[in-house]
């Protein structure tokens, strides 16, 4: 009976089983040892085993990192984001949270964090404990380069700003909370205005002249315009604010401006915040071509 139960567990866990699971299924300690000694099981971490005929996939290795960290360990940050399906590729390191009282030896491939998490902020997804989606979005967005894009995508498809804000308040003292708070503020209604301010600072710092903000043309208000060169710069802000009607209206607006002789550049909040040098290069290139 125990063998059937263990095979069922392994089938749900990418071929992985823990010593605790094996013993709770009725297997004896000596039987576990025999499976390892015979080569039927290979050891991934202390107390974590995999069937020898299975491949060490990224899923297997993350399970080994979390299961091997002991009771109440959970994946967090980029690892949890990948597990939730928010990222297409797994991170190069495993991110694991353990209870605050527990010490774990350091490992080059595992980022261990000691912290007690509110019960609302942990879930089990495909038999792996991970941080809940909202806390995952907040923490991964801070840990990753261009993390604001991850938050934007999550807001488009998986969660809402109020839910992210509630998770943030429950975990307001965590490392990275201030950076997450700034992202939440930018993701709100003030994101477009903040993006405009970032653009204005970039243009001034680069010494670019001849531009004005909020220029009227063709019945529209341009965010920034170099009128002599007929270069218009439009700010898109965060994508989650744009519905299909807004997308259609923006396309119509751009077509009218282009037909009126404007060269239109569009930049998102993410580009302005994460790649200001790239934004400036595109603006300068357009100005040179239109001079």
Give the tens place of pLDDT for each residue, 22-71. 999 999 999 999 999 999 999 999 999 999 999 999 999 999 999 999 99
Question: pLDDT tens digits for 245-263?
Answer: 888 888 899 999 999 999 9
How confident is the model at residue 105, as a pLDDT? 67
Number of domains in the chain: 3
Question: pLDDT tens digits for 189-234?
Answer: 766 788 899 999 999 999 999 999 999 999 999 999 999 999 999 9
DSSP tag of 120: G
Question: pLDDT tens digits for 151-201?
Answer: 999 999 999 999 999 999 999 988 899 999 999 988 987 667 888 999 999
The answer to whether 45 and 60 have CB atoms below 8 angstroms apart is: no
The answer to whether 152 and 240 have CB atoms below 8 angstroms apart is: yes
Beta bridge partners of 233: 224, 265
Question: pLDDT tens digits for 80-112?
Answer: 999 999 999 999 999 999 999 887 667 778 999
217 and 124 within one domain: no
Segment (H or E) for 249? helix 244-259
- The two counts, helices (H) then strands (E), for the chain are 13, 12
pTM equals 0.86
210 and 92 within one domain: no
71 and 38 within one domain: no
How confident is the model at residue 190, as a pLDDT? 62
CATH code for the domain in which residue 266 is found? 3.40.960.10
How confident is the model at residue 8, as a pLDDT? 93
Taking CB atoms within 8 Å and a gap of at least 24, the contacts of 281-284 are 283/203, 283/208, 283/231, 283/233, 284/206, 284/208
CATH code for the domain in which residue 47 is found? 1.10.10
233 and 165 within one domain: no
What ranges in 110-227 are assigned the alpha helix state H?
A: 133-143, 147-157, 161-170, 177-187, 191-205
Query: Which one of 22, 37, 56 terminates a domain?
Result: 56
* Residue 202: domain span: 191-290
Query: Which one of 35, 56, 77 terminates a domain?
Result: 56
131 and 46 within one domain: no
72 and 10 within one domain: no
d(C-alpha 228, C-alpha 291), whole Å? 8
82 and 48 within one domain: no
How confident is the model at residue 188, as a pLDDT? 84
Query: Would you tell me how many other CB atoms lie within 10 Å of the CB of residue 220?
Result: 16
Burial class (CB in 10 A: 0-12, 13-18, 19+), 84: buried
Helix/strand/coil for 107: strand
Query: Which one of 169, 187, 205 terminates a domain?
Result: 187
Radius of gyration for the alpha carbons in the chain, expressed in angstroms and rounded: 25
């Amino acid at each position: 009976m125990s063998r059937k139960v263990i095979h069922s567990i392994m089938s749900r866990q990418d071929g992985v089983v823990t010593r605790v699971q094996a013993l709770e299924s009725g297997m004896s300690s000596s039987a576990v040892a025999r499976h390892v000694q015979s080569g039927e099981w290979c050891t991934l971490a202390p107390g974590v085993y995999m069937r020898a005929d299975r491949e060490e996939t990224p899923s297997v290795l993350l399970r080994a990192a979390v299961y091997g960290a002991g009771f109440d360990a959970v994946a967090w940050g980029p690892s949890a984001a990948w597990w939730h399906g928010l990222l297409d590729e797994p991170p190069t390191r495993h991110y694991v949270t353990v209870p605050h009282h527990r010490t774990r030896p350091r490992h080059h491939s595992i980022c261990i964090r000691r912290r007690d998490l509110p019960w609302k902020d942990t879930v089990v997804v495909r038999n792996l404990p991970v941080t809940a989606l909202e806390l995952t979005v907040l923490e991964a967005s801070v840990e990753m380069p261009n993390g604001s894009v991850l938050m934007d995508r999550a807001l488009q498809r998986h969660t809402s700003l109020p839910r992210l804000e509630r998770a943030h308040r429950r975990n307001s003292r965590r490392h990275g909370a201030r950076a997450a708070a700034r992202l939440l503020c930018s993701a709100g209604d003030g994101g477009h205005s903040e993006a405009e301010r970032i653009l204005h600072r970039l243009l001034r710092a680069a010494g670019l002249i001849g531009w004005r903000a909020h220029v009227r043309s063709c019945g529209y208000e341009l965010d920034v315009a170099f009128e002599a060169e007929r270069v218009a710069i439009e700010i898109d802000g965060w994508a989650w604010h744009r519905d299909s009607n807004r997308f259609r209206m923006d396309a119509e607006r751009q077509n009218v401006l282009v037909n009126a002789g404007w060269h239109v550049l569009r930049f998102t909040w993410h580009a302005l915040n994460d790649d200001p040098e790239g934004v400036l290069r595109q603006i300068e290139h357009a100005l040179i071509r239109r001079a």
